[in-house]
Amino acid sequence: MQMTYKKTLDYLFSALPMYQRVGDVAIKKDLNNIKALCEMLGEPHLDFPAIHVAGTNGKGSTSHMLAAVFQSAGKKVGLYTSPHYVDFRERIKVNGQEIPEQDVVRFVKKYKEHFERIKPSFFEITVALAFDYFRQEKVDIAIIETGLGGRLDSTNIISPLLSVITNIGFDHMQMLGHTLQEIAFEKAGIIKHETPVVIGEWKRETAPVFKAKALKENSPIYFASRHLVLEQKKSADVSQKFSVRTRSSVWFEDLTLGLLARYQKLNLTTVLEALYQWNRYYPDDRISDLSIKKGLGNVKSLTNMKGRWMIMNQRPLVITDSAHNAEGLRGILPELLKQVVKRRHFVLGFVSDKDVSKILAMFPKNGIYYWCRADIPRSRDVAALQEEGMAHGLRGNRFENVRQAYSAAFASAGSDDLIFVGGSSYVVGDFLKDIAEHK
C-alpha cells in the first residue's frame, strides 16, 4: 500500500496543476471544476454542517482551535486545511487523525478517468476528496479553511452555518487585488445568505466592504475585536493564559491556550467570538465553557497541529513557524527578538512571487542569515535572495536547500543561541520532513 500511495501522490503532485509548485497557473478562476467534481460524487458537501474560515493570516490556527473545541464537546469533527508540511494527508483529518492512505489511493483510482475529463487542479481534487471523506465518516461538523481568497476558492460551494474571516492583509495580490478593499471583497465572498459571519479584526478600510456584503446577503455580522477584550495574564513553556470579557461582563477569568506566540491572541479572539455567536444562533447545539477551555488548552494534541511556533530544540533554541507574509512575520518577530539568547540565526527562504523587500526590512541587522530555497519550482532564487538581504544590511551565506542551511546554522550556533527556520510554509515543510527522516 505504501508504494501504491507514493504512486498516487506522484500523480497528484506532478500530473495536476499545483499552486504549491507552479503558482498562479494552477488557480482556476471559477468554481466550475469543483462543482463538476462534486456533482460526479453526488454532492458530498451538502451532507455535513460546516464552518467556513478565510483570512490573510491566522485562518489555519483559527480552524485548528475551532476543531479542538468541537472535539472537546464530543463532536466528530472534520478539518480541512492547506498546505501540508510533511504528508499530504495532513490536509484532511477527522478528530485529529489524518485520512488513511488507502482512502486517498481508493479515491484517486476510482475517479481518475473523471479527472482526465474534467481536468481539475490539485487543490480542486483535494477539496473534493475532503468533502467525500467527511461524508463517508459522517462527521458532525467540518471546519473548512479556504485556500486563497474566498469568492472563487474551491471550498466556496459549501453552505456553512457560520462564516469566519480572520483578518485582511497584503498577500497574493496578483490574484486577490492590490488594495485592502479589493482583497476584502474576495474574502467576503464566503459570506452566505442569512448566515452569521464573524470578522476577527475591524479595520477602517475593510469594515465597509464586509458590512456591504453582509447587508446584501441579509447576514448578521460581528467584529470580534469590537466585542471581546482579552488580557494576557501569563505565559508558560507550552501555553498562554488570558482573561476574557465581553463589553458587558467577564466570560473567562483564566483561559489557557495551548499555543505559544503572542500573535495567537488575535486568533483566539476570533475563535471565541465565533463560539459566542455559535451559541447564540444554535442554542440546541451549545458549546459549554468547559468544552471551550478543554479544547483551547489542548489544541495541538487534539488536532495534530503542525507548523505554528514549533519549538524543536532547547539548547540552542530552535523555533519554526509558517508565517510567510509581512503581517504574519510582523506577528512573530517581536516574539523572536524578546527571547533571551546570545545570537540569533535565521534560516530563511521565500517563494518567487512574494515581495520580500518589506519583509526583509523587518529583520534585525545583527542576525546571522542562512539563505535557502525549498524543494519546489516556485522557490525564490537563493543568490537573488542573498543580494536582497544584503541590500537591507542582512549578511549571511546561501545554501541550495533547507537541510544544508539548517545544518550550517546548527553547527555554528552556541547552546545559548536561537535558530529560526521560516519565511515560507514550504521551507518549514522541508525542515520538518528532514527532522522526521533523521529521527
Is pLDDT at 289 greater than 50 in this prediction? yes
Question: What would you report as the CA-atom Rg of the chain, rounded to the nearest whole angstrom?
Answer: 21
Residues 6 or more apart whose CB falls under 8 angstroms from that of 429 comprise 83, 84, 85, 86, 307, 374
pLDDT band at 230 (very low <50, low <70, confident <90, very high): very high
Mean pLDDT of 280-302: 98
Residues 47/135, Cβ–Cβ less than 8 Å: yes
Question: What is the spatial distance between Cα 167 and Cα 250, in angstroms, rounded to a whole number?
Answer: 25
Query: Which part of the chain has CATH 3.40.1190.10?
Result: 2-303
Give the long-range contacts of residues 327-333, CB within 8 A, separation 24 or more: 327/56, 327/57, 327/167, 327/169, 327/170, 327/171, 328/57, 328/169, 328/263, 329/359, 329/362, 329/422, 329/423, 330/362, 331/57, 331/261, 331/262, 331/263, 331/266, 332/261, 332/263, 332/422, 333/362, 333/363
pLDDT score of 165: 97
Mean pLDDT of the chain: 92
Mean pLDDT of 315-321: 96
Q: Worst-scoring range by mean pLDDT, 232-241, 398-407, 418-427?
A: 232-241
Q: Worst-scoring range by mean pLDDT, 271-280, 349-358, 384-393?
A: 349-358
pLDDT score of 172: 46
Query: Which part of the chain has CATH 3.90.190.20?
Result: 310-437
Is pLDDT at 1 greater than 60 in this prediction? no
Please write the tens of the pLDDT for every residue from 108-117: 999 999 998 9
Tell me which H or E stretch contains 118.
helix 101-118
Share of the chain above pLDDT 70, in %: 94
Please write the tens of the pLDDT for every residue from 157-214: 999 999 999 988 765 445 565 689 999 999 999 999 999 999 999 989 999 999 999 9
Is pLDDT at 58 greater than 80 in this prediction? yes
pLDDT score of 56: 86
Is pLDDT at 82 greater than 90 in this prediction? yes
Share of the chain above pLDDT 90, in %: 79
Mean pLDDT of 329-347: 93
Q: Of 52, 67, 70, whose CA–CA distance to 288 is shortest?
A: 70
Please write the tens of the pLDDT for every residue from 85-120: 999 999 999 999 999 999 999 999 999 999 989 989
SS3 347: strand
pLDDT band at 316 (very low <50, low <70, confident <90, very high): very high
Mean pLDDT of 215-223: 98
pLDDT band at 311 (very low <50, low <70, confident <90, very high): very high
The class level of CATH for 2-303 reads alpha beta
pLDDT score of 17: 62
Q: What are phi and psi of 79, to 5 degrees?
A: -135, 120
Report the CATH number of the 310-437 domain.
3.90.190.20
Residue 190 is given by DSSP the state: G
**Residue of higher predicted confidence among 355 and 177:** 355
Is pLDDT at 352 greater than 80 in this prediction? yes
